[in-house]
Amino acid sequence: MNQHSSREELSAILTEADQIVRETRRIIRAALRKGFEHRLKADRSFVTDVDLAVEDKTRRMLRQRFPEHGILGEERGGDRPGSDYQWIIDPIDGTHSLRHRVPLFGTLLALLHRDEPVLGVIDLPALDKTYSGARGLGTKCNGRVMRVADLGPGQPLEEEIISVGERPQFTHAGKARVFDHLMKLHPSVRTYCDCFGHALAIEGAVGAMVDFDLRIWDTSATAVLVAEAGGKYVSMVRTGTSLEDCRYDVVFGKPRVVDWVLALIKRLGNREELP
Amino acid sequence: MNQHSSREELSAILTEADQIVRETRRIIRAALRKGFEHRLKADRSFVTDVDLAVEDKTRRMLRQRFPEHGILGEERGGDRPGSDYQWIIDPIDGTHSLRHRVPLFGTLLALLHRDEPVLGVIDLPALDKTYSGARGLGTKCNGRVMRVADLGPGQPLEEEIISVGERPQFTHAGKARVFDHLMKLHPSVRTYCDCFGHALAIEGAVGAMVDFDLRIWDTSATAVLVAEAGGKYVSMVRTGTSLEDCRYDVVFGKPRVVDWVLALIKRLGNREELP
């Protein structure tokens, strides 16, 4: 596919992706009004009826529109895994929040081309915000263009908020020290976990997000949206070999803040003494 | 004042308080559209033009409606401090969030009668939510009655989210160990700081909020709203003697979760070894 056709094609696909998310948002809002069931999965995380209904609806709409594309979803697995184009679905990112009605959960939809993320949508139904973008097309939130401005020379890093996932994510990744030291070394570190923290980084509202032990469906939309907004996105594959298996440790946001976090991670990895 | 007149009187005052907050919300929303300035205060925290404009407007409206009541505001200090009734204003709780456009800040307004909180309003303009209530009148959010249900016997405490303030609040209170142990011992501890975390506890969305080193304007509205929603509210005065000086360490939410947190704080205070 050449650069020109790709751009027009991506723009048309993005319009469809935005429509799909607008549809699934209705499922989520109805469930918030009527109530829903939850249960434990084998991996000890929760799933709700909402997760399943959103993923099923998304898969149906994708199959209708893009019959030749593959699909990988958090809840229902893979479909046509050999295709050049792969849709990646996280129907509810932040199921624990949804279950407790903390309004900071969302739906993530991304398109990979030969394993590279080229299009992403993060929808936060309870906040009425949709972030969407694609390679070469920029990132918008509800139509507003997103620009992650780096810190200028006079802007102190200490005044930035840094958001992180929950501590158990860092423990699973063998990196509890990263979480603990961030908390001790920076004055404003907040566990704005899941896609809400990602959205804040795309807005430039937080200086960086540090999110460990993620899966492909947690990271793909954000990778595109941050890069297209002008931010820095660094992903470290910790384990796994296939799309479905890999665990990712990611840091993204304003370049100077991302670099500060990466330097801290490196010093901790080298077992250097820190304050 | 007898119980009967107090109830009717409080209901009328609550209507006025709701109106005042609706007015100041317009200042905040306009500022979010147009932009605003911020600067450092002597205590190294930030203040914005929005904080000052909201407090000034609130004070003007309170003086018109309740000329005999006292007023204590975070930014402009006290007025008629000897009055039986004292209004307590935090024009922007979460100034750091507002400054960075994290949409989790709010306005707090409370009424004390002889130093006891009897009425409270928490307004979250960016989330379009207003929590308001008064002694004997219950707590509502946008008209919905709030009920904090305690955990039932079969509901595991580990599945609850616990929200906390930022770590430096605990450090200032000499209680960094409480923050660090909560993070280590409970699977889902999140720094939903400021009034957003308070609102989540009032909703029962988090099991408890643990918020240290607070001032009277951070705590008064919440004290009423949590108690009237059926939750448990425990406030420990750490230092200070006057309303303006005191520092409060507070824990509130579902009774069983609050008790678990209080037991942890006690064990840490006794320097017991914990896992």
C-alpha triplet A99, B189, A248: angle, nearest 5°: 80
CB A63 within 8 A of CB A81: no
The DSSP call for residue B274 is: -
CB B140 within 8 A of CB B128: no
8 Å CB contact of B206 and A100: yes
**Average pLDDT of span A164-193:** 97
The CA distance from A168 to the nearest CA of chain B, in Å, is 6
H-run or E-run covering A247: strand A247-253
H-run or E-run covering B26: helix B3-34
CB A10 within 8 A of CB A137: yes
**Average pLDDT of span B132-151:** 97
Q: Is B110 exposed, middle or buried (0-12, 13-18, 19+ CB in 10 A)?
A: buried
Distance in angstroms (rounded) separating the CA atoms of residues B218 and A273:
37
Amino acid identity of B157?
L
CB A176 within 8 A of CB A213: no
The CA distance from A161 to the nearest CA of chain B, in Å, is 8
Of B96, B168, B191, nearest to A191 by CB-CB distance is B191
Of A96, A167, A190, nearest to B166 by CB-CB distance is A190
Dihedral sign for Cα atoms in the order B21, B25, B27, B31: positive
Convert the pLDDT of each residue in B188-240 to its tens digit: 999 999 999 999 999 999 999 999 999 999 999 999 999 999 999 999 998 88
Tell me, what's the pLDDT at B177?
A: 96
* Nearest partner of B174 among B84, B240, B238, judged by Cα: B238
In percent, the amount of chain B with pLDDT more than 90 equals 84
In percent, the amount of chain B with pLDDT more than 70 equals 98
Residue that the structure tokens 């109530």 belong to: A35
CB B151 within 8 A of CB B256: yes
Dihedral sign for Cα atoms in the order A114, A92, B125, B169: negative
Could you tell me the strand order of the sheet in which A247-253 lies?
A189-190, A162-164, A208-214, A247-253, A232-239
Distance in angstroms (rounded) separating the CA atoms of residues B19 and B3:
25
Dihedral sign for Cα atoms in the order B252, B209, B153, B260: negative
- Whole-angstrom CA distances from A194 to A56, A132, A201, B127 are 21, 17, 12, 18
Interface of A with B (CB under 8 A): 96-97, 100-103, 127, 160-161, 166-168, 179-180, 183-184, 187-193, 200, 203, 205-206
Tell me, what's the pLDDT at B96?
A: 95
The model's pTM is 0.95
pLDDT of A187 strictly over 90 = yes
Give the model's confidence band at B1: pLDDT under 50 very low, under 70 low, under 90 confident, else very high: very low
Task: Say which residues have a Cβ less than 8 Å from residue B102's Cβ, sequence separation at least 6.
Answer: A161, A192, A200, A205, A206, B94
The CA distance from A114 to the nearest CA of chain B, in Å, is 35
Tell me, what's the pLDDT at B2?
A: 46
Distance in angstroms (rounded) separating the CA atoms of residues A117 and A129:
21
Of A127, A183, A192, nearest to B167 by CB-CB distance is A183
8 Å CB contact of A167 and B180: no
Distance in angstroms (rounded) separating the CA atoms of residues A148 and B123:
29
* Nearest partner of A212 among A186, A264, A247, judged by Cα: A247
The CA distance from B5 to the nearest CA of chain A, in Å, is 37
Q: Which of A111-115, A120-124, B243-247 has the lowest mean pLDDT?
A: B243-247
- Helix/strand/coil for B259: helix
Long-range contacts (CB closer than 8 Å, 24 or more residues apart) made by B232-238 = B232/B258, B232/B259, B234/B258, B234/B262, B238/B173, B238/B213
Of A161, A166, A188, nearest to B190 by CB-CB distance is A166
Residue that the structure tokens 């207003």 belong to: B130
* Nearest partner of A185 among A203, A152, A210, A148, judged by Cα: A210
H-run or E-run covering A252: strand A247-253
Tell me, what's the pLDDT at A67?
A: 97
Tell me, what's the pLDDT at B270?
A: 84
Structure tokens at A60: 């149906």
Give the model's confidence band at B44: pLDDT under 50 very low, under 70 low, under 90 confident, else very high: confident
State the complex-level ipTM. 0.94
Tell me, what's the pLDDT at A1?
A: 47
First to last CA, chain A: 52
8 Å CB contact of B200 and A166: no
Of B100, B160, B190, nearest to A206 by CB-CB distance is B100
* Nearest partner of B120 among B255, B268, B242, B222, judged by Cα: B222
B253-272 per-residue burial string, b: 16 or more CB within 10 A, e: under 16: bbbbbbbbbbebbeebeeee
The DSSP call for residue B45 is: -
Q: Is A18 exposed, middle or buried (0-12, 13-18, 19+ CB in 10 A)?
A: middle
The DSSP call for residue B231 is: -
Q: Is A21 exposed, middle or buried (0-12, 13-18, 19+ CB in 10 A)?
A: buried
**Average pLDDT of span B74-101:** 94
Residue B229's Cβ-side half-sphere holds a number of Cα atoms within 13 Å equal to 35
Give the model's confidence band at A275: pLDDT under 50 very low, under 70 low, under 90 confident, else very high: low
pLDDT of A156 strictly over 90 = yes
pLDDT of B5 strictly over 60 = no
Closest residue in B to A184 (Cα–Cα) = B167
Q: How many CB pairs under 8 A join A and B?
A: 66
DSSP string, A137-172: TEEEETTEEP--PPPPTTS-GGGS-EEE--HHHHHH
Closest residue in B to A128 (Cα–Cα) = B127
Distance in angstroms (rounded) separating the CA atoms of residues A242 and A245:
5
Q: Is A190 exposed, middle or buried (0-12, 13-18, 19+ CB in 10 A)?
A: buried
Strand intervals (E) in B84-207: 85-93, 106-113, 116-124, 129-134, 138-141, 144-145, 162-164, 189-190
Convert the pLDDT of each residue in B11-22 to its tens digit: 999 999 999 999
**Average pLDDT of span A54-61:** 98
